[in-house]
Structure 1
């Protein structure tokens, strides 16, 4: 691989933080940028985050994964689930960023296309990427959606995957804004929406970029 492999943790509507990281990383057409899901909800500019990801997706090899917050939003938009749970977990912030006027068809076509493109997992070399977790004994195409998008590492850290690959995940926010790295698993959710940091990590070097919620680069 000529380019870099870089993962970015849960963004949650913090577009300034995302723009700061991408500006520092300066992705090239040869780089693979894996975003681990949860682009929307809780932060101030979910719509801006999607605009930024779409724009950078034209310049680099963006691999966006589906988070539980996108799943909740899409279930509401498609009429498959009531809105109560999504609104309780940050959906109101997302609706406000889209200037919601009561019409559930609030997503622009380009944004709908982006959300439809989100993957469940991504495998690259010695690493695999999911939003939340995985079953260590199953092939990636057999993984339950519940584990991929909803399992909290506080409820139990999975054993190493039988493939020997290192897992890179988000979802479980570290309230001290620290990266969890236990060897076979790395969690990059460093609690940006809770006042922590947004984190990007290059692999396998583990070089890190981090930004505050206000968009200040700290490393």
Structure 2
């Protein structure tokens, strides 16, 4: 079994389709998706459905991102609806809207909301790697992490984790379009909803594949660590 990690998707289903056609993934392999499936891009609905389908076949481990948290918080009244909408929630409602009318929160299927609420994991660990949406606190074990570290902390100040494992994360958009390798941590959010790319990394080899919303694809290997 090979293991792959896919960075922040943000409703960019065309890029996801192109990426999956490009990466040599088999049904025996495992995909870890790093969260932020919704907001900003045009097709959150199909991205969420793809994640659900893969997870149901035990081919995908879906992690939670801060944008899933904002969506649920807005729909449950924990934050103002306008706060979510201004961070890309408007594109989510459009993707679920029936033809010919504006989207409403009630257009989102209960099954999708239940999945986003109950089935996403806060992190995933192997013997050598930690996978999280944002940047774990380097001083404590993964079971001691705060929500702020797991979902909101930026990559800028990340330090080697106390476990000695390599962190693979997203959340902090690399507008260069290239994964940022710090040696002890790699950020694979490469700004697909902007003018960048969606990245799939094979941590064991350092090889990555990318696709964008124009249906283009490319591949490469992680650059030498930036210190």
TM bucket, shorter chain: over 0.9
Q: Note if contact 1:29-1:60 (Cα within 8 Å) is conserved in structure 2.
A: no
Q: 1:123 — aligned with what?
A: 125
Provide the residue aligned with 1:27 in structure 2: 25
User: Any gaps of 5 or more consecutive residues in structure 2?
Assistant: 220-227
| 1:75 to 2:76 alignment | no
How many matched pairs?
Answer: 215
In 2, are the aligned partners of 1:18 and 1:215 still within 8 Å (CA)? no
Q: Is the 8 A contact 1:27 1:60 kept in 2?
A: no
- Counterpart-to-counterpart distance in 2, 1:105 and 1:26: 38
Q: Measure, in 2, the Cα distance between the counterparts of 1:186 and 1:131.
A: 11
Task: Give the corresponding residue for 1:162.
Answer: 162
Structure 1 gaps of 5+ residues are: none
Runs of 4 or more consecutive aligned structure 1 residues displaced over 6 Å after TM superposition = none
- Following superposition, the deviation at residue 60 of structure 1 comes to 4.8
Match of 1:46 among 25, 31, 44: 44
Which position in structure 1 is the counterpart of 2:174? 174
Q: Distance in 2 between matches of 1:59 and 1:67?
A: 21
Relative to structure 1, the CA distance from residue 160 to residue 140 in structure 2 (aligned partners, 3 Å threshold; closer, same or farther) is: same
Which position in structure 1 is the counterpart of 2:85?
87
Task: String of CA shifts for 1:143-184, please: whole Å, max 9, x gaps.
Answer: 010111111223x2x211111100000000011111101110
Distance 1:45 1:14 in 2: 6
> Counterpart of 1:196?
196
Residue in structure 2 matched with residue 108 of structure 1 by the alignment: 109
Q: CA shift at 1:30, angstroms? A: 2.4
- RMSD, aligned CA: 1.6
**Residues 138, 159 of structure 2: 8 Å contact kept:** yes
Shift of 1:99: 0.6
Structure 2: distance between partners of 1:60 and 1:21:
19
Q: 1:132 to 1:7 in 2, by over 3 A?
A: same
For 2:143, the equivalent position in structure 1 comes to: 141
CA contact (8 A) 1:176 1:190 kept: yes
Partners in 1 of 2:56 and 2:103 — Cα distance? 32
